[in-house]
Structures are given as C-alpha cells and as structure tokens.
Chain A
Amino acid sequence: QQQVRQSPQSLTVWEGETAILNCSYEDSTFDYFPWYHQFPGESPALLIAIRPVSNKKEDGRFTIFFNKREKKFSLHIADSQPGDSATYFCGCSSFSKLVFGQGTSLSVVP
C-alpha cells in the first residue's frame, strides 16, 4: 500500500525548534487527512485533522498545512517539547477507509 508516502522516516530536533513532518498522496478521492501520534507502548491516537476545503488547521502548537494541487500536506510542531517524542502517522481517508503513511519517528532532544 504505497498510496500515502511519509517523510522523513525519522527526525531529531532540539527542544524549542519546529518539527516538520511531510506527507503526500496520489488518490484524488481522499477527503479527510488526519495525523495520529503513537507514544512508545501505546496505541495510535488522533492528534489533528483537516478537510481539503481548508489549507491550514491549527490546534495549539500543532498546525497542518495542506496543498490540494500538489497532493501534499505537512504537520508542523512548534516549540517542540521532549514530551512530543513519538511516532507520527499521516492518514488519508475516502469512503471511510483510512490508510496511513509509514510513520515518522520524532525525537525531541532537551
């Protein structure tokens, strides 16, 4: 299932920096784009999501930027904290079927 491509595979940032995680897709029928995060030993959980009618969605330090023409979207984590260290999965959904990218392992160094 290569419908959703995510990069980078791993990312290390210093505390306070902005982490940028990227996702691209191919299928134009996708109509909902969530990001899930997964902490070690836990299950994935919804972090933030966007519909293609918008090109930006903010929730505190977390922002999704969406480019429908290029079929790309990204998650920006501002003022990264060590507690943000986790694996992040971008998702794309159509007709209720949600597929995920391969994940980005984020480490935030104090």
Chain B
Amino acid sequence: NAGVIQTPRHKVTGKGQEATLWCEPISGHSAVFWYRQTIVQGLEFLTYFRNQAPIDDSGMPKERFSAQMPNQSHSTLKIQSTQPQDSAVYLCASSLGGASAETLYFGSGTRLTVL
C-alpha cells in the first residue's frame, strides 16, 4: 500500500497562472479530503468527497478554487489565477468510509509557491 499519493511535490507558479494539484487516495478508501497548511492558519479544511460526490466545500475560497473527483482513484484541486497568498502546502487525505471517527491518512502534500 503506497499510501496517499500527491503530485507534484512542489509547484511554482507566477501570479495569475493556474495550478492543478493531484491526489490519489489509498485504494479502497471512499472519502477524500483536502486541507491547506500554513504557519499562520495551521491546517485549514477545504473540501471533502465521499464516493466521489462532493459533501462539504465550506472551506473552499468561493472564487478561483475548485475540486473534483472524477473517479475513485484520483481527485484534483485547481486554483485559477493564483495569488501569492495561495502559497501553502496543500494536503490530501483519505479515509475508509468517511465516517466521523475514522482515521485520516495524509499524503506528503504539494508545496505551492506563487511568485
């Protein structure tokens, strides 16, 4: 079991460019979560999917951010017109069924730097 796989590990974009981050959950896990980590804010919840359906996107900035899960083996987080304040580590996590008390298994993250 390779764990949650996130690609790329590092991404540098210019202000105004688009960034797409990829996540492959653990095989057999039906829930996928996205978080953003910064020193100031800590771990911020962005959105999560269960059985590929979006369940809660209350943490997503309403403009420029979108997430999809087109199939059970991967999810994407897209940031349009990136801004310097989007610089952070974006973490993807998966859990077995999405129940409240389940353990989240995190990927290694994608460090996004917006110049």
Contacts and interface: CB of A to CB of B under 8 A. Distances in A.
Secondary structure class of chain A's binding surface, majority of residues: strand
B45 A1 contact: yes
B31 A43 contact: no
Contacts of B102: 96
Sorting the interface of chain B by its residue count into under 10, 10 to 19, 20 to 34 or 35 or more gives 20 to 34
B43 A93 contact: no
Interface stretch (B21-29, B64-72, B76-84, B103-111): B103-111
A109 interface: no
B101 interface: yes
Contacts, number: 61
Contacts of A100: 35, 42-45
B31 A1 contact: no
Given A43-B107, A43-B109, A93 B45 contact: no
Contacts of A49: 101
Given A43-B91, A44-B91, A98 B104 contact: yes
Contacts of B43: 44, 89, 100, 103
Contact of A32 (B56, B58, B100): B100
Interface of A: 1, 6, 31-32, 34, 36, 43-46, 49, 51, 89, 93-103
10 contacts: A31-B100, A31-B101, A43-B106, A43-B107, A44-B104, A45-B106, A93-B100, A95-B56, A95-B100, A97-B56
